[in-house]
Amino acid sequence: MSGRYAGRVALVTGAQGFIGSWLTERLLDEGARVVVPRRDSPAVSRFRLQGLEARCDVVTADLIDYAPLARVLNEYSVDTVFHLAAQTIVGTANRSPLSTFESNIRGSYNLLEACRSVASDGHPIDRIVVASSDKAYGSHEVLPYREEFELKATYPYDVSKACTDMIARSYAITYELPVAVTRLANVYGGGDFNFSRIVPDSARSLLAGERPVIRSDGSPQRDYIYAADAVEGYLTVADSLDRPELRGRAWNLGAGELISVAQIVGRLIAAAGSDLEADIRGEGVPPGEIDRQQLDSTRIREQLGWAPRWSLDRGLAETYDWYRAVLV
């Protein structure tokens, strides 16, 4: 099979999740053999709905257990790793920090240590991309975030991503592993079944003929990118690891535009062709959330040539169409 990843064996953690399923599909289409470690098996996921599971090598392995990870890397001759698996819901992290820290921090250093171990045994891995988050920056008075900004995370989820970020770059610097870190803005698109998030929840409400509920005052602002742009960003960062001088870098990936919760719901309503209005039920910023987050993606645009191709309105229209096809 021809393609950008023809002949490569890629391990994708978190492939059953939202962004991971988009990345997995793209890797398969580009000719990769994709190995997916699995702990749980969600009943509903884009990974299954799009027929991706049947195209992958799905293996039983939990990231908090080191030995199975090392076995999988060895036995499948993995040469590329995309580490996206994480407990990603802020509210869940606030309620249950221990399980979030176990999954996000311990899972990350176990995987990185397994990569280091197989490399020292004569099976080097060429590319390791680790997903951090814009939330690793914490709250800053000055926006947008640039890569040299201090990581000032305070809430459990944010801290877990900041720790993952620093551990990954430590492995690159200390052990010369080909590691890079991605710090993505809020990603939206079809296949996100975490309905605590504003875009999928609003799409589901609109399809039911109900007003989308906003559980803040609608003022918190975020930077949003469409899932296809996020995937292209992951592949671009992976390609950069062929250049040793770029290893150990962190890269911001965002659109650079601040959009309030009320605005994104309003634009999704417009994409749906609905005349409903948002139902604003909250006050201020929800506990454990950051009020304003925006990324400066100048570095990756100038050095690697990545930039988002999807406008917000076009991406929201595609997203709404996906949920309409699946949920109705």
Catalytic residues: 157
**Does the bond joining 37 to the residue before it have cis omega, within 30 degrees of 0?**
no
In this structure, the number of other CB atoms found within 10 A of the CB of residue 68 comes to 18
Report DSSP letters for 103-121, one per residue: IIIIHHHHHHHHHHHHHHT
Phi-psi region at 307: left, alpha or beta (left = phi > 0; alpha = psi -120 to 50): beta
Report the C-alpha gap between 276 and 328 in whole angstroms: 18
In degrees and rounded to multiples of 5, residue 228 shows phi and psi of: -65, -35
For residue 251, which of 153, 175, 169 has the smallest C-alpha distance?
A: 169
- Determine contact, residues 311/267, Cβ cutoff 8 Å: no
Query: Which residues are within 8 A (CB) of 242 and not within 5 positions of it... i.e. 6 or more apart?
Result: 126, 127
> How far is the C-alpha of 236 from the C-alpha of 239, rounded, in Å?
5
Find tokens 């875009």 and name the residue.
199
Cβ atoms of 145 and 185 within 8 Å: the answer is: no
Contact 228, 222 (CB under 8 A): no
Q: What's the CA gap between 151 and 138, in Å, rounded?
A: 6
Burial label, 184 (beta-carbon count in 10 A; 0-12, 13-18, 19+):
buried
Locate the DSSP E strands across the chain. Answer: 9-13, 33-38, 57-60, 80-83, 127-131, 179-184, 186-188, 213-214, 221-222, 224-226, 250-253, 259-260, 279-280
